[in-house]
Structure 1
């Protein structure tokens, strides 16, 4: 990787960046959680003080377990059960990402998690899309250009994947760019949802699959070979199929070689991976080896509230840890844009007219 000057957090913030793996219900502002709890009557919060609440989410997520980590979402989902709340959260999401220099973002959420107070799945989707449109408008007023696309998630432990896949296809001309399955990996393999993936393929729709985070190579193999995933949500356990000898020689197993050769994107979320136990620390995170071996690695936030992070802070942490320079940041960014679920012309426009011109004088 590059040996150029390591950029600081302040320098990274205005850099145009691309985000592919960010959960809407994992990125709320702590103050918004507190305010929505008051206006919607949600009484489950551990505290109503925004500063203390932000700290609580971070500490609660630092469990080393994906299952425990996911429990924090009971509170964010709990305050997102009205159209007004969904519009607000989506608008603020777009504003916050744009202020952090993100020029294209794919934000995912599971519509089925927001129907507890009677909203239909369609109403949920339309409220979120309205919010993103408003957030993009507000960002533009502040001089920040951002394009948002949404991914509809089905929950692994439920049995609604086909229904959610149908919604992703129905709304793909209204801002929904793809589909995903999320939730606990162990015990809920992606092959439980083969009908949904077959439906998506026959309708020429895009999809990614959470795999290789809490569970190992088997989940990655199933996601790719049985389900046909275009991208891997996290995917870091692919490193289990890479052997590094004492002399530094590297040997890729069949699956790792396939993933690298096919340029299957890895939606890597470093801070989140440490919190859930998928990596012991940032310094020991598989991204160091995977990037050096030129897998198609992308850098992502996963859940900005739970990890108390931004995309800029993730890049800053990696730059400080691994010595990444501007050439590396551009490489990760172009990787993400090449892997995005928007059309080729849009991707090319952002690469040639936004990304490369900004980074060129810094390389």
Structure 2
């Protein structure tokens, strides 16, 4: 009897999501409605189904330029407090429907100020949407405020993260093209966050290799790595029974530095060739602190349940593996320690136990 979890089974499991972009998960129908309300006239299609198809094709085109173009449309309609609060609320609703019990969702406040909103107004609108969505749908969402690594506003955004950390912002991030924009360009922001005892993750090891990961950890002090896929470059003899870890890979594993991996997105951006060849398989086998994430649910046409189902199919994972990924994520979250323990022991482990018992 095959006890491998099905997609429907996985949807019922209590899951944890650490790497999800707010502007990468907007409903196509919402984009169309917000465009009509705001007078945004640049959508490639005014039909929600046609727009969804366009996003999928653009994201899988192999063209980075076309992939990045997709975000111009989601960000383009997220320029009012009402729009931001709605998108955040719907994000909470969609994640809860997929069985996510805790999520950290990131966005760059500086991208939502084109019509005159202040950074504070942007943050407050998103927090309002998350709070209402969380109450209505039984999910806890913490916000990560992101600075764009090619801009020079990281200190402002870091101060924003600290200013709102008691109101729902759980941490800070930098995102954008890695090549040519190393994390050390924002060292002052990271040093400020460390002085303020604040949490932060850094996009590293996705579009650029080991130097990006090394700088994020050793210079900037990242708590987690956004993606971190290219840590595989520091592991040799991968096909043998005893893969050899380089100094950096060994350090990442020894220090239990969480890797926020997003399998489908990693394939779209060229960081991995296929699900079956994704580094997550080897890294899980070697005991790295790996987590499974969605990155951009709209662009990748995915959910967290679907990401886990793909890994189950590719690597033969069972309930114990999926629980391992989930506990990893909850342990690695920026939620308070007591909240992490309550969710692990009171929700996640009992939830997986019920599913395993039901399938037994």
- TM over 0.5, yes or no? yes
Gaps of 5+ in 1: 140-144
**Is 1:221 the counterpart of 2:214 in the alignment?**
yes
Separation (CA, whole Å) in 1 of partners of 2:55 and 2:22? 15
Change (3 A) 1:148 1:155: same
Give the match's secondary structure for 1:112: helix
Given candidates 96, 115, 135, the residue that maps to 1:98 is 96
Change (3 A) 1:66 1:249: farther
Report if aligned partners of 1:66, 1:214 keep a CA contact under 8 Å in 2. no
Report if aligned partners of 1:6, 1:323 keep a CA contact under 8 Å in 2. yes
| 1:133 Cα deviation after fit | 1.2
**Is 1:324 the counterpart of 2:322 in the alignment?**
no
Separation (CA, whole Å) in 2 of partners of 1:65 and 1:190? 24
Equivalent residue, structure 1, for 2:273: 280
Change (3 A) 1:261 1:68: farther
**Is 1:147 the counterpart of 2:145 in the alignment?**
no
Separation (CA, whole Å) in 1 of partners of 2:83 and 2:326? 31
Aligned residues: 356
Separation (CA, whole Å) in 2 of partners of 1:162 and 1:302? 24
| 1:358 Cα deviation after fit | 1.2
Separation (CA, whole Å) in 2 of partners of 1:206 and 1:308? 29
Equivalent residue, structure 1, for 2:3: 5
| 1:360 Cα deviation after fit | 2.0
Change (3 A) 1:87 1:244: same
Give the match's secondary structure for 1:19: strand
Separation (CA, whole Å) in 2 of partners of 1:219 and 1:195? 17
Given candidates 133, 136, 139, the residue that maps to 1:135 is 133
Equivalent residue, structure 2, for 1:142: none
Change (3 A) 1:235 1:65: farther
Give the match's secondary structure for 1:232: strand
| 1:245 Cα deviation after fit | 5.6
Equivalent residue, structure 2, for 1:158: 151
Separation (CA, whole Å) in 2 of partners of 1:4 and 1:61? 34
Equivalent residue, structure 1, for 2:76: 78
Equivalent residue, structure 2, for 1:351: 344
**Is 1:244 the counterpart of 2:244 in the alignment?**
no
Which deviates more from structure 2 when the two are superposed, residues 48-57 or residues 101-110? 48-57
Change (3 A) 1:66 1:173: farther
Separation (CA, whole Å) in 1 of partners of 2:244 and 2:61? 33
Moved over 6 A (4+): none
| 1:71 Cα deviation after fit | 2.4
Superposed, which structure 2 residues align to 1:256-267 within 5 Å?
256-267=249-260
**Is 1:296 the counterpart of 2:294 in the alignment?**
no
Given candidates 112, 118, 121, the residue that maps to 1:120 is 118
Change (3 A) 1:222 1:175: same
Given candidates 8, 16, 30, the residue that maps to 1:32 is 30
Separation (CA, whole Å) in 1 of partners of 2:222 and 2:65? 23
Separation (CA, whole Å) in 2 of partners of 1:156 and 1:251? 33
| 1:64 Cα deviation after fit | 3.5
Separation (CA, whole Å) in 1 of partners of 2:330 and 2:142? 12
C-alpha RMSD of matched pairs (Å): 1.3
Larger RCO, structures 1/2 (Cα 8 Å, 6+ apart): 1
Given candidates 314, 330, 333, the residue that maps to 2:307 is 314
Report if aligned partners of 1:4, 1:325 keep a CA contact under 8 Å in 2. no
Equivalent residue, structure 1, for 2:172: 179
| 1:61 Cα deviation after fit | 1.0
Separation (CA, whole Å) in 1 of partners of 2:289 and 2:19? 14
Report if aligned partners of 1:67, 1:184 keep a CA contact under 8 Å in 2. no
Separation (CA, whole Å) in 2 of partners of 1:281 and 1:64? 14
TM-score (norm 2): 0.97
